[in-house]
Amino acid sequence: MNYRAIRAIYLFEMARTWRTLLQSIVSPVVSTSLYFVVFGAAIGSRITEVEGVSYGTFIVPGLVMLSVLTQSIANASFGIYFPKFVGTIYEILSAPISYVEIIVGYVGAAASKSIILGLIILATAALFVPLHIKHPIWMLTFLVLTAVTFSLFGFIIGIWADGFEKLQMIPMLVVTPLTFLGGSFYSVNMLPSGWHTIALLNPVVYLISGFRWSFYEIADVGVGLSLGMTLGFLVICMAIVWWIFRTGYRLKH
Amino acid sequence: MSPIISVSHLSKVYGSGFRALNNINLDIRRGEIFALLGPNGAGKTTLISIICGIANPSEGSVAIDGHDIIKSYRAARSLIGLVPQELHTDSFETVWATVSFSRGLFGKPKNPAYVEKVLKDLSLWEKKDSKIITLSGGMKRRVMIAKALSHEPQILFLDEPTAGVDVELRKGMWEVVRTLRDAGVTIILTTHYIEEAEEMADRIGVINRGEIILVEDKAKLMDKLGKKQLKLHLAHKIDAVPPALAHYHLVLSEGGTELIYDYDTAGERTGITSLLGDLRNAGIRFSDLETSQSSLEDIFVSLVRAP
C-alpha cells in the first residue's frame, strides 16, 4: 500500500474543505437551522407528537441524513470531477498508486467531511430540541455507512459527469426528492397505504428509518432491514467503482 | 548497458478505430536526452501517455528499467516524472503545497530540503507561498516541472516543454534540462521546435502517422543528411553555366546573377578550391559568397514528406 499517497490525497481534499469553510460547513448548518425554525418551531408547535416524540425531535435524524447524503455526494463528485475538468487527473493516473488507494483517499475525505458535518448539525439540533440517543454506536454506524456509501455514489457521479450540469443533475433530480420523500419530515407510516407501498421502494427510507431507530427506537421498517439495505447499496456502489477502474471508464483512453 | 525504457511492438487503437500508434519499437538509453519529433497528431503524446500510465496500450509492452508498466506499475511509475503538454495545474493551492502533494502521491517521505532545492533550481523559491492561479504561464510551466521532479525521478518526460514560452525562458528551460541530464536523469522531450532538438538532444527519433520512421544520434543524423551549399553572387549576369564547369552541377538562379553549388560535408574533398579556380579560368567573377548547412528542420521536413 502506498499510504503516503492516500495521505496526500486525503489531506489535499481536506485542505479544500477548510479553504471553502463557508460553503462546506457553514452553509449546510445554516440551512439545517432554518429547517428547525420553520418545521420544528413554527409548524412543529401545531403538531403534537409523532410516534411518541415531539415533532421537532422527530425530524432531527432525518435532517442529519439529508445533509449527510447530499454533502457526501457533492463532496465526492466534485473532488474527482474537478481534477478531470482542469486536467490535473494526469498526475493521479501516472502516480504509483492503485485504484483502491485513490478511492480510499477521495472517498475517505468526502465521507470524513460529511461525518463531521453530520455531527455539527446534530450539535446544532441539540440547541433547538432535547436530544437523546439510545444507541450511540448504531447511530455512528449508520452515519459512517451512509457517508461512505453516498461518497462512493458521488465518486461514481463525478467520474460519469462530463459537464457541470450532469454533476448537479443526479443530486438535484434524484437524491433530493428521494430524501424528502424518504421520511425526513414524517413517518412513512403516516402515508395512505398505496403511497406507503411506493415509499418502501425508496432506498433512503431505510437509511433514515435505521438512523432514527438508533435515536428513539422508532422505525418505519425493521432495523435489520435498514442495515441490510444500506450495506446492499454500499456493495452496489463498490461493484460499479470496481468496474470503472477495471475498464478505465471515462478515466483512461 | 540495458535500456532504461524499452518499448516493444506497441500499438494503440482508439475506440473510434483510429490507429494512433502502430508497432512501435524504441529503446531509450540511460542518461540520454532523447528528442521525439513529429508533426501534430503523429502519436507523440499518445506514446508518452501509454508509457506513463495515462492511456492503456492496445498491443505490445513497455518496460521501465525492467519493470513492466502494467504488471509492475508501481515500480515502473515511481521512476518517471511527467510534464504534460497542457498547463494542468491546481489553482488555489500554493506552489509549495502542490509540489509536496506530488511527492506524497509518488510515495516519497517528506523532504523539505529537496523540495526547496527543486524550487530554487527552477527560480520558484520566491513564489513558494503564492497561489498557483496568480502565476504567469511560464511560472506555471515550471511548477509542473517541479511537480514532476518532486519525487526524484530517474526519467523525465517533457511533452512540448517550451510551447508558448518566450525565448529567454526557453533558454532557461534548456539550462535546467542540461543540469538534470548532468545529474543522471534520462530525458525524453517532444517538440515542435526543431532548433530545440538540434540544441539539446543526444539522439533523435522521428515519429509520423503512428510509426517511428527514424532513430539516430543527432550528430550522425546531421552528418548523414547534412548538406552544405555554396552561393556565389556574381559580379556580372551570365546566361548559362560554361560547359567547362558542367561536372560541378551548378545551378544558375536569380536571373543569372547567382550560382549555387551543393557539396557533401562528409566528403574528404569539398571541391570548393578547384571550383573557385575553374571559375577564374572561365572568367566569371563574383562579388560575394555565402555557405549554409541544411538544418535538422530541412531533414525533418524531407523525412516526414516522404511517402
Residues of B in contact with A246 (CB under 8 A): none
Nearest to A106 by CA among A253, A247, A245, A252: A245
State the amino acid at position A75 in one-letter form.
N
pLDDT digits (tens, 9 = 90+) for B99-124: 999 999 999 999 999 999 999 988 89
**Residue B122, phi then psi, degrees to nearest 5:** -100, 15
Cβ-Cβ contacts under 8 Å between A and B: the total is 80
pLDDT digits (tens, 9 = 90+) for B129-160: 999 999 988 889 899 999 999 999 999 999 98
DSSP 8-state assignment for residue A95: S
DSSP 8-state assignment for residue B6: E
A27 within some domain: yes
* CA B160 to centroid of chain Cα atoms: 9
Total number of domains in chain A: 1
Residue owning grid cell 513492466: B68
- Look over chain A and give the mean of its residue pLDDT values, rounded to a whole number: 89
A253 within some domain: no
Distance from CA of B299 to the nearest CA of A (A): 33
Nearest to B212 by CA among B60, B14, B26: B26
A232 within some domain: yes
Distance separating alpha carbons of residues A136 and B151, to the nearest angstrom:
44
pLDDT of residue B156: 96
Residues of A in contact with B13 (CB under 8 A): none
DSSP string, A133-194: -S-HHHHHHHHHHHHHHHHHHHHHHHHH-SSHHHHHHHIIIIIHHHHHTTTSSS-GGGS-HH
pLDDT of residue B265: 66
> Residue B306 pLDDT more than 80?
no
Please answer yes or no on whether B74 and A93 come within 8 Å at the CB atom: no
Give the nearest chain A residue to B89 (CA atoms): A88
pLDDT digits (tens, 9 = 90+) for B210-232: 999 889 998 887 776 667 788 88
Please answer yes or no on whether A8 and B80 come within 8 Å at the CB atom: no
Residues of A in contact with B70 (CB under 8 A): none
Is-contact B174 B60, C-beta < 8 A?
Answer: no
Please answer yes or no on whether B14 and A253 come within 8 Å at the CB atom: yes
pLDDT digits (tens, 9 = 90+) for A50-88: 888 888 888 899 989 989 999 999 999 999 999 999 999
- Considering the entire predicted model, what is its pTM? 0.84
Distance from CA of B110 to the nearest CA of A (A): 9
Q: Nearest Cβ partner of B105 from A5, A87, A253?
A: A5
Helix (H, G, I), strand (E, B) or coil at B94: strand
Confidence of residue B69 (pLDDT cuts 50, 70, 90): very high
Q: Which residues of B212-228 are buried (b: 16+ CB within 10 A; e: fewer)?
A: bebbbebeebbeebbeb
Residue owning grid cell 528542420: B297
Nearest to A13 by CA among B97, B141, B89: B97
Please answer yes or no on whether B104 and A8 come within 8 Å at the CB atom: yes
A252 within some domain: no
Is-contact B224 B261, C-beta < 8 A?
Answer: no
| HSE, side-chain direction, 13 A CA sphere, residue A70 | 24
Does the beta carbon of A95 lie under 8 angstroms from any beta carbon of chain B?
yes
pLDDT digits (tens, 9 = 90+) for A93-120: 999 999 899 999 999 999 999 999 999 9
Residues of A in contact with B89 (CB under 8 A): 86, 88
Confidence of residue A35 (pLDDT cuts 50, 70, 90): confident
pLDDT of residue B282: 85
Distance separating alpha carbons of residues A16 and A6, to the nearest angstrom:
16
Is-contact B99 B106, C-beta < 8 A?
Answer: no
A208 within some domain: yes
Please answer yes or no on whether A253 and B55 come within 8 Å at the CB atom: yes
A45 within some domain: yes
Please answer yes or no on whether A9 and B88 come within 8 Å at the CB atom: no
Q: Which residue segment(s) compose the domain that A29 sits in?
A: 3-247
Cell readout for A103 is 478511492
Does the beta carbon of B74 lie under 8 angstroms from any beta carbon of chain A?
yes
